[in-house]
Amino acid sequence: MSIDYGATRTTAEALRGMCGGAVHLPGDPGYDASRMPWNVWVSSLNPAAVAYPRTAAEVSELVIAARAAGLQVTTQATGHNASPLGDLSEVVLIKTSAMTSVEIDQDLAIARVGAGTLWLDVVEAAAAHGLTVLHGSSPDVGVLGYSLGGGMGWYARELGLQSNALTGATIVTADGSTVHASATENADLFWAVRGGGGNYGVVTEVEFRTFGFTDAYGGMLVWPWEQAEAVLRTWAAWAVDAPRSVTTSFRILQIPPLPEIPEPVRGRNLVVIDGAVLAGDAQAEAILAPLRALRPEMDTFARVPTATLVRLHMDPEGPTPAVSATSILAELPAAGIDALLAQTGPGSDSKLTVMELRQLGGALAVPAEGAGAVAHMPGQFLAFALAIAATPELGELGDQQSHQAIEALAPWASGRDYLNFAEASMDTSRGYDEDAWLRLRQVKTAWDPSAVFIGNHAIPPLREN
């Protein structure tokens, strides 16, 4: 079915020619390609315009022009979490992929990163200076979206969330001004963007702490999926009381037979525990001993450069069609394990590519000093179910089964969600505690009362009755 772009195109025509011509309006030859996010299952984004600024000054011009045209603004670097945005027909989509930069200040142990930068580039730059950053499990995720939404990686139980490692941000606000936010400048705005995402302006650069180590005891343990029950029961009990120096995930994987997947796991159904231990070899081996006692068929845990861990999780790189569901679990008792295995384990009819539990606790359980809006992650596990949507039929089935898997775990849910993993529209307040939610809305009212900016999980300003 063809789309009538007439009215939207007329409204956005004022943006024509901005950013050196890198603005695509509905119906333009480059529009369809530019509006597609990383998750290509999401084909419904039809923004009023898509713009590719190269500088903060060009971002400012776009914001002013959009506001004058009565349009809202949203931002993407890669579009990994684009689905919750919904209808963008009255929204200018600013893509920051041209705004890539990485600067490592070795003396201050600080990284300064442009809005469109991917994690792989930062990981490699930091490693060259003898430093490690709090990256996630995928090399081609954008630093900004990950950091502003929380950011939980392989060192999280020891060092916390990436959002709380931020030390400053450069932000274009609703009136087109460019401001710097930190603990001492525009502190309320700095608090809000560290967890509140793109709801407060266009963040064009962030600064964050790096850490003075370059190796960890990391890797994976792999079993045939017939051993899912024994491995999950052991890991779930072990994970709750494990030292904070270790961060792991448990996954049931049904791996497609794709040529880019390594031969030992290609086309197989497996159980995988992967992660990293920030401890010496002897201590790390003692920590992992209960898991190794289950005799995995593959064990790659060893002392490795931290730069190699950005690909440990084997997340797909490049645009991928996927559907998913998620929840934070307060606990996972024996009945919860039974429910999970009934949905996704051997003998089920599951077609899910991934059923994953990430280990919480440690530093994640305690509000970080000087934290932003997501001070901690209450609960014992983060559950995530995903299916590759290779066809419309598989997408519909995967969406159904991923939600069924998470719903089966509902009796043990904490009531909170991790918004970076939430690839569907939801009650955004579930990402925060009650006080933080109210404060986020108060800061929104102070900085963007007309809601010029919408994040992928929208935070509305307070309205007078």
Q: What is the CATH number of the domain that holds 52?
A: 3.30.43.10
* CA dihedral for 183, 187, 190, 192, sign (positive or negative): positive
Residue 170 lies in a domain: no
Domains contained in the chain, number: 2
Does 41 map to a domain? yes
Q: Which residues have C-beta within 8 Å of that of residue 35, sequence separation ≥ 6?
A: 24, 45, 46, 47, 50, 93
> Could you list the residue range(s) of the whole structural domain that residue 27 is in?
7-95
Residue 237 falls within a domain, yes or no? yes
- SS3 state at 145: helix
> How many whole angstroms separate alpha carbon 184 and alpha carbon 200?
18
Q: Residue 424's pLDDT is what?
A: 84
Cα 230 to chain centroid distance, Å, stands at: 30
What tens-digit pLDDT sequence spans the chain (465 residues)? 344 444 455 678 989 999 998 999 999 998 998 988 878 777 778 999 999 999 999 999 999 999 999 999 999 988 777 778 888 999 999 999 999 999 999 999 999 999 999 999 999 999 999 999 999 999 999 999 999 999 999 999 999 999 999 999 999 999 999 999 999 999 999 999 999 999 999 999 999 999 999 999 999 999 999 999 999 999 999 999 999 999 999 999 998 887 877 787 888 999 999 999 999 999 999 999 999 999 999 999 999 999 999 999 988 888 888 999 999 999 999 999 999 999 999 999 999 999 999 999 999 999 999 999 999 999 999 999 999 988 989 999 999 999 999 999 999 999 999 999 998 888 999 999 999 999 999 999 999 999 999 999 999 999 753
| Predicted pLDDT at 57 | 96
Transcribe 287-317 into DSSP letters.
HHHHHHTT--SEE--EEEEGGGGGGTT----
CB distance 319 to 42 below 8 Å: no
Do the domain assignments include residue 184? no
Residues 255, 402 within the same domain? yes
* pLDDT given at position 302: 98
pTM, entire model:
0.94
In a domain, 250, yes or no: yes
Does residue 385 contact residue 356 with C-beta atoms inside 8 Å? Answer: yes
Compute the C-alpha angle 244/245/246, nearest 5°. Answer: 90
Check residue 83 and give its pLDDT: 78
Last residue of a domain, one of 50, 80, 95: 95
The answer to whether residues 63 and 43 touch, using CB atoms and an 8 Å cutoff, is no
Residue with tokens 């307060």: 330
Inside any domain, residue 235: yes
Domain closes at, from 66, 95, 124: 95
In this prediction, residue 5 carries a pLDDT of 44
The per-residue pLDDT for 1 is: 32
Whether residues 365 and 225 share a domain: the answer is: yes
Distance CA 373, CA 441 (A): 11
- What pLDDT does residue 2 have? 40
Q: Round the CA-based radius of gyration of the chain to a whole number and report it.
A: 22
User: What's the CATH number where 400 sits?
Assistant: 3.40.462.20
pLDDT value of position 10: 61
- Does residue 53 lie within any of the structural domains? yes
Q: Both 274 and 416 in a single domain?
A: yes
The encoded tokens of residue 111 equal: 């990284």
Position 104 in a domain: no
Q: Do 383 and 240 reside in the same domain of the chain?
A: yes
Q: Which of 52, 74, 95 is the last residue before a domain boundary?
A: 95
Claim to verify: residue 220 and residue 86 sit in the same structural domain: no
Report whether 137 contacts 154 (CB < 8 A).
Answer: yes
CA distances from 407 to 104, 219, 280, 348, 352 (A): 43, 31, 40, 16, 15
